[in-house]
Amino acid sequence: MADNMNHSSTEPAETIEPLRYLSKVEVAAIETELLRDYRFGQQQLIEIWGHACAIAITKAFPLTSLSKKQPTVLVVCGPDQNGSIGLVCARHLRIFEYEPTIYYPKRTPNTIHQDFTVQCEKMDIPFLSYLPTEVQLINDAYNLVIDAILGPETDHTDVKEPYAGILVTLKQVKIPIASVDMPSGWDVDKVTSDGINPDVLISLMAPKRCATSFTGKHYLAGRFLPYDIQKKYDLNLPEFPGTDCLIEL
Amino acid sequence: MADNMNHSSTEPAETIEPLRYLSKVEVAAIETELLRDYRFGQQQLIEIWGHACAIAITKAFPLTSLSKKQPTVLVVCGPDQNGSIGLVCARHLRIFEYEPTIYYPKRTPNTIHQDFTVQCEKMDIPFLSYLPTEVQLINDAYNLVIDAILGPETDHTDVKEPYAGILVTLKQVKIPIASVDMPSGWDVDKVTSDGINPDVLISLMAPKRCATSFTGKHYLAGRFLPYDIQKKYDLNLPEFPGTDCLIEL
């Protein structure tokens, strides 16, 4: 009887399913599952992501390609998880011999974020006390800006100060911007035509829906997702080369 | 007057100081400083070290070089920090498409270690309930053994069961052994001639004194140490290539 159930007709060749672009709800669901069921720690995930972001920056902007005499990078950090990823990214960039400067206007009273801050301070990475409103000063001082401001968890319809002002400034800078996970101020779920316009996007875990039409250099970073999560959410991640923690899409 | 203090004689060319081999006391001092003053988290350090160990394994034993049909690896984990590094190493090896099996006889009731364990279980990495005493079974089933059993914090003069028995078994295996940080059972501070004899040693942060005469493949892994710590302890670390998290010594 079982034999009758075999398909003797030729099976279609296995098709490669396209990479999934995640909605805001899916991002939150995956993160919850990683923390609650897979027992990843927030500190651990932020370290993995921040390190991968630093590697992406070295690929997109190698030390030898920088136009300024000093390998300066401005890292703008938001109040939540994205901001801490920015702090870790800055720390690893320092190890890779870049000269990061951090602008972190609102420090959250949360031990994890505070610890990542101290790690940077102890590495003698300078912190700016304010962001120059004169955009030319930013263009002149840095080779690029890393936007680690707002992540998928932020309500893009109600961006508060000081971040609204920062985004106005970043819209005007002429040096390249690299955004961590998603461009700050964009709607996770929709293609945005206003807002900041990064040259590089470093998607974490999987790209977000808003990245569908992104035309700059796009990296997928953070190679650690358990296979069951990848399957459950049909992520169809590409194959990462060798032991690389990221891949250019 | 100040001029008189200038040395007009030619200064000796800057000599490259040799890499420091750390004592047990120095290892403990550096770790305390990293955790207390630099505010690194234990979870964060274990993740960094475990990932770097997995990369070292891929360099020393590339998938294509393995003699067995399946890319099997036995990871033996001790009760403390070294064991958790082994768990993280196993998880990343799974991501790199190896087939790790974990033997973790004593699970410490500590949230950090438990979380790393769950992460492995949820990745469907098998855990052995006992280590075969028949060494041939180990030689036949695995391509190599990772020794993540005892670290610098363990008293080598009083290795307790089940670890004493495990070391007896590991002394007899014919497949290569890679030791995490230091070979289990060795005295941190002295060259040992008895004890297990690993083919590969993955020193974390800086090599330990016992590694002075180690003749196998020796990696220095974990590239994150703040420059002030490197200076304070005269580590004289070699220059890591590119963005690599390890270097072969």
The pLDDT tens digits for B188-240 are: 999 887 789 999 999 999 999 999 989 999 999 989 999 999 999 999 999 99
Q: Is a pLDDT exceeding 50 seen at residue A8?
A: no
Q: Do A223 and B40 touch (CB under 8 A)?
A: no
- The distance of A7 to chain B (nearest Cα, Å) reads 30
Distance from CA of A172 to the nearest CA of B (A): 31
Looking at the complex, report in whole angstroms how far the Cα of residue A101 sits from the nearest Cα belonging to chain B: 16
**Cβ-nearest to B122 among A91, A226, A243:** A226
Q: Looking at this protein, which amino acid is placed at residue A243? A: T
Q: Are B224 and A114 a contacting pair at CB < 8 A?
A: no
The pLDDT value given to residue A165: 95
By Cβ distance, the residue of B39, B44, B118 closest to A39 is B118
pLDDT tens-digit series, residues B151-195: 998 888 889 999 999 999 999 999 999 999 999 999 999 988 778
DSSP H or E segment with residue A144:
strand A144-148
Q: Residue A95: which pLDDT band, with cuts at 50, 70 and 90? A: very high
Report chain A residues whose CB lies below 8 A from the CB of B91: 224
Is residue A149 scored above 80 in pLDDT?
A: yes
Q: What is the ipTM of this complex?
A: 0.91
DSSP assignment, residue B225? Answer: -
- Selection from A58, A140, A138, A47 nearest residue A98 by Cα: A58
Examine the pLDDT at A109 and tell me if it is beyond 90.
Answer: no
pLDDT band at residue A4 under the 50/70/90 scheme:
very low
If you count residue pairs, one on A and one on B, with CB atoms under 8 Å apart, how many are there? 71
Question: Rounded mean pLDDT of A131-149?
Answer: 96
Among all residues of chain A, which has the CA nearest to that of B54? A243
Q: What is the mean pLDDT of residues A116-134?
A: 95
Q: Do A123 and B227 touch (CB under 8 A)?
A: yes
Cβ contact (<8 Å) for B227 and A124?
A: yes
Whether A177 contacts A198, CB under 8 Å: yes
Contacts of A202 (CB under 8 A, 6+ apart): A52, A53, A56, A57, A178, A179, A180, A181, A219, A221, A246
pTM of the model: 0.92
| A37 contacts B122? CB cut-off 8 A | yes
The alpha carbon of residue B164 is apart from the nearest alpha carbon of chain A, in Å, by 31
Residues of chain A with Cβ-Cβ distance to B227 below 8 Å are 123-124
User: CA A68 from chain center: how many Å?
Assistant: 24
Instruction: Please name the member of A91, A123, A223 whose beta carbon is closest to the beta carbon of B95.
Output: A223
CB B208 within 8 Å of CB B27 = yes
Question: Cα distance from A78 to chain B (closest Cα, Å)?
Answer: 20
Asked whether the predicted pLDDT for residue B2 surpasses 80, the reply is no
pLDDT of residue A5: 44
pLDDT tens for each residue of A226-244: 999 999 999 999 999 999 9
Residue A164's pLDDT band (cuts 50, 70, 90): very high
The verdict on a CB contact (< 8 Å) between A44 and B48 is no
CB atoms A54 and B124 under 8 Å: no
Cβ neighbourhood burial of A221 (10 Å; 0-12, 13-18, 19+)? buried
Report percent pLDDT > 90 for chain B: 86
Q: B116-149, pLDDT tens digit by residue?
A: 999 999 999 999 999 998 999 999 999 999 999 9
Give the Cα separation of B46 and B182 in Å (integer).
15
Residue among B148, B212, B215, B211 at smallest CA distance from B180: B148
* Mean pLDDT, residues A30-52 taken together: 97
For residues A50-78, average pLDDT? 97
* pLDDT at residue A1 is higher than 70: no
Of B91, B95, B243, the CB nearest to A58: B243
- B47-81 pLDDT per residue, tens: 999 999 999 999 999 999 999 999 999 999 999 99
Residues of A in contact with B38 (CB under 8 A): 118-119, 122
pLDDT above 60 for A7: no
* Nearest-Cα residue of chain B relative to residue A227: B123
Out of B39, B55, B224, closest to residue A115 by CB:
B39
Interface test with A, best of B53, B118, B123 (most A CBs within 10 A): B123
At B12, is the pLDDT very low, low, confident or very high (cuts 50, 70, 90)?
A: low
Q: Which residues pair with B217 in a beta bridge?
A: B200
Percentage of chain A beyond pLDDT 90 is 86
**pLDDT of amino acid A154:** 87
pLDDT at B4: 44
pLDDT of residue A9: 46
Q: Is beta strand B99-103 parallel, antiparallel or unpaired with respect to B127-128?
A: parallel
Residues 6 or more apart whose CB falls under 8 angstroms from that of B202 comprise B52, B53, B56, B57, B178, B179, B180, B181, B219, B221, B246
Region A8-16 average pLDDT: 54
Across all residues in chain B, what is the average pLDDT? 92
- What are the Cα distances from residue B128, in Å, to A160, A174, B53, B100, B125? 53, 57, 21, 11, 10
Query: Considering only CB atoms, which chain A residues are within 8 Å of B224?
Result: 91-92, 95
Is the CB of residue B145 less than 8 Å from the CB of residue B176?
yes
Contact call for A44 and B40, based on CB within 8 A: no
Q: What is the pLDDT at residue A14?
A: 57
